[in-house]
Structure 1
């Protein structure tokens, strides 16, 4: 039986909750660590350790939230209730993280509010992304769903970066502290607004059968899902590379280009290109397949990142060119992997006989968080080892700058090349997925 396609209205209201998620991703990797190191005065080693501990602690909540999310049964469904419950946790956590009392902040304070933030983040992200897999069984429409979600998230990202950029150029207002605060205001407004718009305008399937497998049994079956294991490894490597470059971006702008205030404008150029590239990658993925489209996007990073080794003071426009190229390629990571996730869940449904989307997204989230904790930790430890000083006004020279360039460019390229190797000969193609859907339909009709 042909499934009814989702309307653009449904796609819009589903995707709009990606706005605060996307807006938060950048400062949590780039500006917030820099702010606590430069403006607040916590050491880089301490910040890297805090981020690692908070992420590891948070990662262990993912399987629990996923397990409970698949088994939640209410008259409103099992995804929307978790999203609404995340609001009173996320909003105060954003406030205390983005607007701290700088005179009394300690590493313990940072750790506490990061842990609270990531708990709310997990409660929002896992059911929200699992819901996408349940909106449509179609191989290509799933890419459309993630494209709408990613595009709206990127639009919010561009808007949130545009205001600090305009404030800097027209009013000379916009150091790291000011950027953090402006983004914090956006998040406090958008988190409740977008979530409530999504849950009130998008229907959720409520006549589902809760999984009966235990957590351990479910994980054993999941581990036998070969395409999922390969997909998770690829995303871990890719995300670690992104995390390293994001965590060192402001240091690179300050230490190499010596133009810190241009950082937000440079990032804006990246996200604007990404915004317009997302629909193009949807078309490309339908032509050549999802994993090949992802591979092409990764090659944009592999061939561009070494170019950053040649940059020096004042090379803003060359940096912008590089970011625009990688922004085009980076658009794939916002769309393709998440669409591929939904496909491997169908394979699990065939093997286990159960719909365990949230459990899969919980494992995915766990791996993502490990990479986002390992990446900054690795980057900050390397910078601390080479003696790079993040203090504003300090001019780093010689080997310190060379080491920063190597961390920002070559170390990230290694992760991206490894991702390409993992994706080579990925088995779950469109043809294989169509076979899976037929098998599932036959099984359901018995």
Structure 2
């Protein structure tokens, strides 16, 4: 059931997109703050914390396609999101405020709870938007609203611990409380009265057959490949930007400002990409975003010590390109799903979530060892070290972006062939 004429479309889009704020909020502390919190405050060894995080991330990523398959068979998208949110609230709230004596079992158990709740919520939130969009433009607007609110959620999660307290443990405990309150309020605004999404369809097929069947769809598999290449290209500089700011620009004190510029420009630029997609098509608009990224990475090669203003402008332009990466790929996927009557949006978004998480792992696994092999170590500022850092931060993503652009061009050819 689609939104009726009585409900203003902008309000419907905002209500759907608003849920992206707490979902993005939840992701950042797990990756940024939890390792430091449990190593310093809970007294766990770095080896134990790292092992627990690695194992839960592997299980989390591998389970996403299966969660997507299950989601296509039980309950509505809205119902599954509603069931996942309490798990997310309990898991993250407890994770950020561990009781005295909390150890590895507490960390591992709550990571499983929070990552499972997060996966169910995000996969079904994405599939829900794909199913509710009644036109190509509406699907783009729904995705842009979700990703725009998500960017504000990331900024909020990054800023709150330092604003709420002077110590990490107190700041994170209060941040967890704020998160639970925000999640509850957003759920009350976003869920009641909204269309439930497509009804689940029971099929006599195994999960592996269904998931293989989704990947056998050539346009989807090709788009997933473009998304993977482009995602790694974006994740490499994300994994190395703080090193670049500290040892190339040499303004580590401005790291927070640079990141805020990046995320806020990304959110502000989303309407630009929605408008451009409406005029020239989503694939062409995404190619334009990739072209902007290539130009930004080429410019980054020229950045040196003290180039604060230049790097700030570079962050703004790369943030603008980020808007294209956030809004257009899921909107293209939603358009593909709209042409498929079999209703496997959950399985498709399950694979999408798997690739998103794999991109982050692959980028870190590629970029950080490569830096070491090239002779860079944190704090090293001699010419060979900074040249190696610049090559990994700027040149490697540039090459990967060009590869992604070529793959996207080929995907357009595949789609043209499918439609003939």
TM-score for the superposition, normalised by structure 2: 0.83
Q: 1:193-212 alignment to 2 at 5 Å? A: 193-205=185-197, 209-212=201-204
Evaluate the alpha carbon distance shift between residue 325 and residue 223 of structure 1 in structure 2; reply closer, same or farther with a 3 A threshold.
same
Residue in structure 1 matched with residue 78 of structure 2 by the alignment: 80
| Structure 2 residue 392 is matched with structure 1 residue 407 | yes
**RMSD of aligned C-alpha atoms?**
3.8
CA contact (8 A) 1:225 1:347 kept: no
Q: Does residue 1:259 correspond to 2:247, yes or no?
A: no
Cα-to-partner distance string for 1:212-231 (whole Å, 9 max, x where unaligned): 44323323432332111111
* Per-residue Cα deviation, 1:378-427 (whole angstroms, up to 9, x for no partner): 2232344456555xxx5554433332222211122222111101100434
Quote the residue 1:382 is aligned against. Answer: 370
1:348-363 equivalences under 5 Å are 348-349=340-341, 354-363=342-351
Match status 1:269 vs 2:261: yes
Report the Cα distance in structure 2 between the residues aligned to 1:178 and 1:242, rounded to whole angstroms: 32
423-432 vs 173-182, which moves further:
173-182
Q: Shift in Å at residue 367 of structure 1?
A: 1.5
The corresponding residue for 2:408 is 423
CA shift, 1:48, in A, is 7.8
Matched, 1:70 2:77: no
CA distance in 2, matches of 1:179, 1:245: 28
Q: CA deviation at 1:116?
A: 4.0
1:426 is paired with a residue whose SS is helix
Relative distance call for 1:34 and 1:64 in structure 2 (3 A) is: closer
Q: Distance in 2 between matches of 1:220 and 1:122?
A: 20
Matches of 1:111 and 1:378, distance apart in 2: 26
CA contact (8 A) 1:51 1:373 kept: no
1:326 shift after superposition: 1.0
Cα contact 2:251–2:306 (8 A) shared by 1? yes
Unaligned runs of 5+ in 1: 437-446
1:323 positional shift: 0.8
Distance 1:205 1:238, change over 3 A: closer
Deviations 1:82-138 (A, max 9, x none): 2233234323443465556999987x9866654443222111111111111111242
Aligned to 2:88: 90
Given that 1:20 and 1:153 are in contact with CA atoms closer than 8 Å, whether structure 2 keeps it comes out as yes
CA separation in 2, counterparts of 1:51 and 1:90? 17
Asked if the contact 2:78/2:197 (under 8 Å) is kept, the reply is no
Q: Is the alpha carbon distance of 1:431 and 1:395 closer, same or farther for their aligned partners in structure 2, counting shifts above 3 Å?
A: closer
Pick which of 211-220 and 406-415 moved more: 211-220
1:219-230 aligned at under 5 Å gives the runs 219-230=211-222
Question: Is the 1:244–1:412 contact (alpha carbons within 8 Å) kept by the matching residues of 2?
Answer: yes
Matches within 5 A, 1:210-359: 210-349=202-341, 354-359=342-347
Against the structure 1 CA distance between its residues 242 and 190, is the aligned structure 2 distance closer, same or farther, given a 3 Å change threshold? farther
Aligned to 2:57: 55
Give yes or no for contact 2:219–2:414 (8 Å, CA) kept in 1: no
Q: CA deviation at 1:318?
A: 1.5
The two structures have a TM-score, normalised by structure 1, of 0.79
In structure 2, the partner of 1:21 is 23
Q: Return the alpha-carbon distance in structure 2 between the equivalents of residues 136 and 409 of structure 1.
A: 37
Structure 2 regions of 5+ residues with no counterpart? none
Q: Distance in 1 between matches of 2:89 and 2:252?
A: 29
Pick closer, same or farther for the CA change 1:325–1:239 going to 2, 3 Å: same
